[in-house]
Amino acid sequence: MPLICIAAPKGGVGKTTLAANLAGALHCAGQPVLAMDCDPQNALRLHFGLPVWDGAGFLMQLPLRPDWRSLVRDTASGVALLPHGANDIRTALRLAAALEREPELLLAPVRAMLAEPGLILVADLPPGPSQMLNLLAPLADLVVTVLLADANSAALVPEIDSGRFLGSGALSAPQAARVRIVLNQVEATSRLSRAVAEAMVRHLGPRLLGAVCRDEAVAEALAAQRLLHAEAPGSAAALDIEDIARGIAALLPPLPLSTEPVAP
């Protein structure tokens, strides 16, 4: 049913961390969730306990028209996962060229996923204005955009305001209305972090979904290859993420309850 894209104008801001843990928090709230890794870094799987050597995935196989259902992985968290798959430059170029020629290679299976009753699809996007974001943003109910509470991120706010970050053209303005922002790694003890966070609250208003504090438990959960609420329940960042997941759920259309597993 709904598609939530997790994106950012720059890398290393916590997109994958938030994609994994928001998927987990939405699943805990009672909906089936499918997390799809669209970033060739193929890192989303690490939050869900897949071994580093496991290079199987969905996105990298798109030119072969794979059956997405057969590639869905069950995870201990209960979130269903479509990893990107291991990647090299030749595969990446072949995928980009195939999608340029035939966007339906991605859009047809995504529409099939969105037709699943009650299913929430969370897509982890590559940094910046990517081909993947360009294709998926028009289908998205929400584009959750992750920023840090620092000067670099503050400088990117005009890109987000104008919708340029989602690509140029007539669609960028209506799509900008679906953009919501999450501030990550906010530090209450840092003057700069506090000042940027306060300025973002003033400027973004209701477009700011919430903030996640910088918390070592986040990196520890990744090291343990578990979601934050399983590894460090009650940690400050886990509570922040639960809050944001509630905010996201409130923005989505009402969902039918479903107990059907995603994979056949």
Ligand X SMILES: Nc1ncnc2c1ncn2[C@@H]1O[C@H](COP(=O)(O)OP(=O)(O)O)[C@@H](O)[C@H]1O
What is the contact surface with ligand X in residues (CB under 6 A)? Answer: 8, 11-17, 43, 184-185, 212, 214-215, 218-219, 222, 237
Provide φ and ψ at 130, rounded to 5°.
-95, 165
Binding partner of residue 130 among ligand X, Mg ion, none, CB cut-off 5 to 8 Å per kind: none
Give the shortest CB-223-to-ligand X separation in angstroms.
8
Give the shortest CB-130-to-ligand X separation in angstroms.
12
Give the shortest CB-181-to-ligand X separation in angstroms.
14
Q: In terms of CB distance, is 1 or 132 closer to Mg ion?
A: 132
| One residue of 5, 13, 16, 221 binding Mg ion per CB under 5 A | 16
> Residue 264 corresponds to which amino acid?
P
Q: In terms of CB distance, is 17 or 31 closer to ligand X?
A: 17
Number of residues located near Mg ion, criterion CB under 5 A: 2
Give the shortest CB-7-to-ligand X separation in angstroms.
9
5-104-37 Cα angle (round to 5): 35
Q: In terms of CB distance, is 112 or 219 closer to ligand X?
A: 219
Phi-psi region of 228 (alpha: psi -120 to 50; beta: other; left: phi over 0): alpha
**185 touching Mg ion, by CB under 5 A:** no
Give the shortest CB-6-to-ligand X separation in angstroms.
8
Q: Judged by CB under 5 A, which stretch of 7-15, 27-35, 77-85, 221-229 contacts Mg ion?
A: 7-15
Give the shortest CB-257-to-ligand X separation in angstroms.
30
Q: In terms of CB distance, is 128 or 261 closer to Mg ion?
A: 128
- The residue sitting closest to Mg ion, measured at its beta carbon, is 16
SS (H, E, C) the chain: CCEEEEECCCCCCCHHHHHHHHHHHHHHCCCCEEEEECCCCCCHHHHCCCCCCCCCCCHHHHHHCCCHHHHCEECCCCCEEECCCCCCHHHHHHHHHHHHHCCHHHHHHHHHHHCCCCCEEEEECCCCCCHHHHHHHHHCCEEEEEEECCHHHHHCHHHHHHCHHHCCCCCHHHHHCCEEEEEEEECCCCHHHHHHHHHHHHHHHHHEEEEEECCHHHHHHHHCCCCHHHHCCCCHHHHHHHHHHHHHHHHCCCCCCCCCCCCC
Q: In terms of CB distance, is 16 or 21 closer to Mg ion?
A: 16
Q: In terms of CB distance, is 105 or 137 closer to ligand X?
A: 137
Q: Judged by CB under 5 A, which stretch of 11-19, 49-57, 144-152, 186-194 contacts Mg ion?
A: 11-19
Q: Which residues of this chain interact with Mg ion, rule CB under 5 A?
A: 15-16
